[in-house]
Structures are given as C-alpha cells and as structure tokens.
Amino acid sequence: MRKSFDLYFASSNKNKYSEAKEILSKFKLNLGFFEFAPVEIQSNSILEIATKKSLDAYWSCKKPVIVEDDGLFIPALGGFPGPYSSYVFKTIGNAGILNLVKSKRNAEFHSVIAYCDGKKPVLFQGVIKGVISKKQKGNDWGYDPIFIPKGKTKTYAELDDKNTLSHRYITLGKFARWYKKSINN
C-alpha cells in the first residue's frame, strides 16, 4: 500500500531529508522524499537559491514540496562559505575550514525552507549562532563535526538532541506552524 504524505522534501541529500522527516514528525506532519538534483543557481542569497529550487522541484513532481538551503557563515571570513557551503565542503571539507579559521571562531548556521504548491513560494528562515571548534569532533555529515551551537560545549555531531535545537529545527518549526494553520483555514 502506498504511503500518504502531507508534502514532499525535494533534495538529493538524504541526510537533510532524514533530519527534516524526524523534526516534522514532532509536528504531526508526514514527509515524503522526492529525490531531486536541482541545477543550483549561483547567488549570494540562500533565499534566492531556495526560491528557485522550490519552483523547479514543484514543476518536476507537481506536488506540494519543501526544499531547504542552508549555509555556514563565518564573520571573520566575510561570511564565507555562506551560500557556497556545499561546494566548499566538497572541495576543502572541514579540515579546510579549520585551517582558515584562526582566533575569531564565531559562526552562524542559516537555514531557509521554501514551500511551493505551484504558486509563489513561501519562505521561512532560521539562524543559530555558535563557534567553530578547534578540531573535528564526532562522526556525522557536513559541518556538524566542527560547529558548536551557542550555549553548548559539544559539536552538532556529538549532540544527541541536535534535531531539537538546530537551524533546521528552528526553520522547520516555523514552517510547520504556518502550514498547519494554513491548511486548517
């Protein structure tokens, strides 16, 4: 029997989908996965990138979708890698970021969720502040082994409760509250 989903998460990143599915289940939303590898536009704005990806994803599957774009922003590096986080991770990885960051280790993780049902996409944003660790800690994906959220002493990769405090959790929570309210009207 085919599962019924409230909406789909469009991405080529199954790790992001797994986190989103777990988070949205806490809001009683059933999230399906639409494997989708968008042509990402080059932009300095993760809002613009998420908007374009959501439109492309909707027109590919013709079902309500959400996409996420996020980035690690390091003020001491002029906001780098920011919207280029995925490319930077693939090319220099966490070791490269650790080599670039010296004494000023403040960082922010930004997340944008774009919802599209064929109309103008609706955007939600979340930010969590923190610092870049001095070395990689924990075994997880992306920048999780080097990002320590504010108020914590462990990296995302070391935390058992990452999905209750991350940038993605903040953004998906905003989306879920809006979505539940909008479908009940």
pLDDT digits (tens, 9 = 90+) for 149-161: 999 999 999 999 9
pLDDT band at residue 47 using 50, 70 and 90 as cut-offs: very high
User: Residue 164's domain spans which residues?
Assistant: 7-183
Whether the predicted pLDDT of 180 surpasses 50: yes
Number of domains in the chain: 1
Query: Which tens digit of pLDDT belongs to each residue from 20-46?
Result: 999 999 999 999 999 998 877 889 999
* Domain contains 2: no
Task: With respect to residue 154, please indicate whether it lies within any of the assigned structural domains.
Answer: yes
Is 143 a member of any domain? yes
Quote the tokens at residue 17: 């989908």
CATH code for position 15? 3.90.950.10
Distance CA 34, CA 136 (A): 31
Question: What pLDDT is stored for residue 116 in this prediction?
Answer: 97
Domain assignment present for residue 1? The answer is no
3 state DSSP class of 116: strand
Q: What is the pLDDT of residue 1?
A: 32
**Choice among 69, 140, 144, 160 that is catalytic:** 69
Active site residue 69: yes
Give the Cα separation of 130 and 180 in Å (integer): 30
